[in-house]
Chains A and B, each alone.
Chain A
Amino acid sequence: MDIKRPSAHAIEQYRSALLLSVPALVGLAVFWYMPTIQAVVLGFQDYNLMSGSQAWTGVENFQTAATDPLLRLTFLNTVVYFLMEVPLQMALALALALLVRRGPAWLRTVILVPTVTSMVVVSVIWGLMYHPNSGLINSLLGSVGVAPQPFLTSAQQAMPSIALLMIWKNVGFSMLFFLAGLVSIPGNYYEAAETDGANSAQLFRYITLPLLRGTVVFLLITNTVTAFKVFTPIFLITEGGPINATRVVVLYIFENAFRFNKMGYAAAISVLLALFLLIISVYSLRVSRTK
């Protein structure tokens, strides 16, 4: 009897755990795990959405991907965007975190407002602000004597313009994590260093930065993934132009799937992108651990 009772209790527990988990697990299976497997399968197929015809094509989609000059360009564009957005955004976020910590409380609120503003609204408002003749930015620049800039219509300026609006929108997120990281640094570290005669630059270099390394790695990974997913501002404002200067990977996936009806090819590119991001994330985690 004594042996049986706990096991009945345990079975009761398993049953409850199972019942409580089933809805979430079904949801994940239908909308995450199965689509993930299907994306891989689809990559080896030719799938026509209109006719519903499906045919195995082996590695053809991946071969096309390897030689598609437009895919190469979109990937390079995405890397360029990543290089413009992520480092600057994180540096700015750290600077803002340091500022907000010693500044008025409302400043944090103000910096966070863009993070709760929708991507579409941010895109359309900045799209209008960048307007060469009637946009607010050129008139602000004009008031300090800078000539009007073409922004979105120039192949050189379009991508930096997109990166700037994304920095404006996302920097609050990164700042929050830096703030959390700063709070967790014990105050007596600074006091000890100050009694040893360290100046504020040294405090930052030898205490703040090293102790924020975990935060930096985490933000680097999440911001990188976010950067490689960029879609909405480009879809709405530049549509990949001028002359493909802002055509990025997710836009290309979207176009192949839903404009050119090449579901299989779109899936193949998606798989390559997912693998690429996975490798980057795992690699950065490992590097940060071994260091």
Chain B
Amino acid sequence: MVRLPVVIGVAFFFVFPYLWLAGSSFRPREEIFRYVSPVSWRTFVPVAPTLDNFRHLFFELNFGRALANSLGIAVVTVTITLFICSMIAFALARIRFPGREIVFTLILATILIPFETIMVSVFLTVQRLGLFDSYPALILPWVTDAFIIFLLRQHFREISDELQDAAIVDGCSLFRVYWNVMLPNIRPALVSAAFVKCVFSWDAFLWPLIVTRDPDLTVVQLAISRLFTDQNVLWELIFAGAFVGTVPLIVLFLFLQRYYVEGVVTSGFK
């Protein structure tokens, strides 16, 4: 075991912004400013906790709409991604067909092209498809994900040939093999892929910033960023918004940490 003070110091470095964020989201503005300096327990713990900030966010700023949008988009994105990517990953891993290596190389090649360098033309594509300012525009560009195809392909490859052969001898079509035999066998990898994609989808900011105008389509990150860039910066609302926008993912992460680590390390996802 390493020395405790080092561990505590490192932990504090990563935790203190969350303590400040969580504490401040439950306090009125004057209290945030009053206790920030000198640093004491009062800097992090509300003296007179209040839910006013959250009330303001949800009842006056329609923050619930942004949360619902992001949640819905994440659920739909993750679902479609898992279907589409697991299908092609299965084909690449378990079916011999001409051109298989070329297809796989072409998929991996997309990793070399950062989205930021093609966002202008993806934007024009979306506009030409008539999808500007719509939910599909926020979802469709993200459902084919080379990292996730790669991750799932790795797991499909690890399944023994006998299992597949036995199923085919029993008269299963390849689709049945995919759906009834292979998918249940890579369930942990599917959870990893789903959570990693969920984090990614929830995080989306630059793309929604470019491709949406309609206030009804505001996603949670845009809503939080607008609290921050607004003319009169209201600190207590920023904290409350950031709190609501962060806690669900952290809670999910605490449950799914094992899958998250596996997903990140296997796919090299960032």
Q: Which residues of A contact B (CB under 8 A)?
A: 12-14, 16-18, 20-21, 23-25, 27-28, 30-36, 38-39, 42, 47, 96, 99, 102-104, 107, 109-129, 134-136, 138-140, 142-143, 168, 173, 176-177, 180, 218, 222, 225-226, 228-229, 231-232, 236, 250, 253-254, 257-258, 263, 266-267, 270-271, 273-274, 277-278, 281
Nearest CB in chain A: distance from B263 CB, A: 10
Assess whether B242 is in contact with A121, with CB atoms less than 8 Å apart.
yes
The interface size of chain B toward A, counting residues with CB under 8 Å, comes to 92
Assess whether A226 is in contact with B270, with CB atoms less than 8 Å apart.
yes
Contacts of A142 in B (CB 8 A): 37-39
Q: How far is the CA of A232 from the CA of B141 in the complex (A)?
A: 19
The yes or no answer to B14 lying at the interface (CB within 8 A) is: yes
Contact of A232 among B18, B92, B205, B220 (CB under 8 A): B205
Q: How far is the CA of A281 from the CA of B250 in the complex (A)?
A: 33
Nearest CB in chain B: distance from A91 CB, A: 14
| Smallest Cβ-Cβ distance to B221: which chain A residue | A120
- 27 A-B pairs in the complex with CB atoms less than 8 angstroms apart: A16-B91, A16-B174, A20-B95, A20-B174, A24-B85, A28-B110, A104-B1, A112-B253, A112-B261, A113-B253, A116-B199, A116-B250, A118-B224, A120-B224, A121-B246, A123-B228, A142-B39, A168-B17, A180-B265, A226-B270, A236-B225, A257-B119, A257-B120, A267-B120, A273-B114, A274-B114, A277-B114
Q: How far is the CA of A18 from the CA of B96 in the complex (A)?
A: 11
Nearest CB in chain B: distance from A253 CB, A: 7
B42-58 residues with Cβ-Cβ distance < 8 A to A are 43
Q: How far is the CA of A16 from the CA of B175 in the complex (A)?
A: 7
- The total number of A-B Cβ pairs within 8 Å is 262
Q: Mark B233-250, 1 if CB is under 8 A from A, else 0.
A: 001001100100110011
Q: How far is the CA of A134 from the CA of B238 in the complex (A)?
A: 14
Inter-chain pairs besides A120-B224, A121-B221, A129-B17, 19 sampled, C-beta below 8 Å? A13-B97, A16-B174, A18-B97, A23-B144, A24-B88, A27-B84, A27-B140, A32-B110, A36-B113, A38-B125, A39-B121, A102-B2, A115-B264, A118-B205, A124-B228, A222-B268, A253-B117, A253-B119, A270-B118
Known pairs A103-B2, A139-B38; A253 contacts B116 (CB<8 A): yes
B87-110 residues with Cβ-Cβ distance < 8 A to A are 87-88, 90-92, 95-98, 100, 103, 106-107, 110
Q: Mark B127-169, 1 if CB is under 8 A from A, else 0.
A: 0010000000000110110100100000000000000000000
Known pairs A23-B87, A263-B124, A274-B117; A103 contacts B1 (CB<8 A): yes
